[in-house]
């Protein structure tokens, strides 16, 4: 019941958080709105530990440098299956620093395009430039975790395939 209450609070306030997005010239409001809906569905699936709902918003392979498991390490990333990613993040997600920061600080959007980069995990008809739609969460502010700590942020990364956003990766920066 506690998880459900926290999630309801997230749904009520989630739309307000999304207004803090950083829009690029090539991303219109309707795309951000669509990404926001998918992101909320992702968070809901993690809070409810609903693997089937998670699979609907996740791509088959996920780039996750922080995941424990058997990733395929190469110059293209650190890919694990979506199931391994789910096992790494879903358990106790509501107690994770990422979720606590999400509730406390919200999130922002950004995009990044990596020119002439095509992951072997994407469909063959995917464009030659990888466009990542990122949902950034400021996990720790400077000096919050400990004195002198620079702070850190996590991002859920999505790709758009056949008009739908799919979780493609998770990354972090100090």
pLDDT of residue 11: 40
The tens digit of pLDDT for each residue in 105-128 reads: 999 999 999 999 888 888 888 998
- Dist CA 64 CA 131 (whole Å): 17
Asked if pLDDT for residue 155 goes beyond 80, the answer is yes
Work out the percent of the chain whose per-residue pLDDT is above 70. 79
* Sequence-separated (6 or more) residues with CB below 8 Å from residue 45: 51, 53, 54, 56, 57, 90
The two counts, helices (H) then strands (E), for the chain are: 5, 7
pLDDT of residue 19: 35
pLDDT of residue 108: 96
Please state, rounded to an integer, the average pLDDT across all residues of the chain. Answer: 82
Asked if pLDDT for residue 65 goes beyond 70, the answer is yes
pLDDT of residue 142: 81
Q: What is residue 136's DSSP assignment?
A: E
Reference 14, options 151, 83, 106; nearest CA is 106
Asked if pLDDT for residue 1 goes beyond 80, the answer is no
Q: Cα–Cα distances in Å, from 157 out to 6, 9, 31, 54, 142? A: 23, 24, 14, 14, 23
Asked if pLDDT for residue 7 goes beyond 50, the answer is no
Mean pLDDT (whole number) for 9-20:
38
């Amino acid at each position: 019941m506690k998880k459900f209450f926290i999630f309801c609070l997230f749904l009520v306030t989630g739309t307000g958080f999304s207004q803090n997005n950083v829009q690029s010239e090539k991303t219109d409001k309707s795309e951000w709105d669509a990404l926001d809906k998918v992101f909320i569905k992702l968070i809901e699936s993690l809070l409810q530990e609903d693997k089937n709902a998670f699979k609907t918003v996740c791509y088959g392979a996920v780039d996750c440098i922080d995941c424990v498991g058997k990733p395929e390490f190469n110059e293209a990333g650190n890919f694990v299956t979506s199931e391994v990613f789910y096992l790494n993040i879903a358990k106790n997600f509501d107690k994770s620093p990422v979720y606590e920061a999400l509730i406390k600080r919200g999130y922002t959007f950004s995009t990044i395009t990596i020119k002439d980069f095509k992951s072997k995990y994407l469909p063959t008809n995917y464009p030659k430039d990888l466009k990542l739609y990122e949902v950034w969460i400021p996990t720790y502010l400077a000096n919050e975790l400990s004195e002198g700590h620079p702070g850190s942020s996590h991002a859920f990364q999505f790709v758009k395939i056949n008009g739908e956003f799919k979780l493609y990766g998770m990354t972090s920066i100090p």
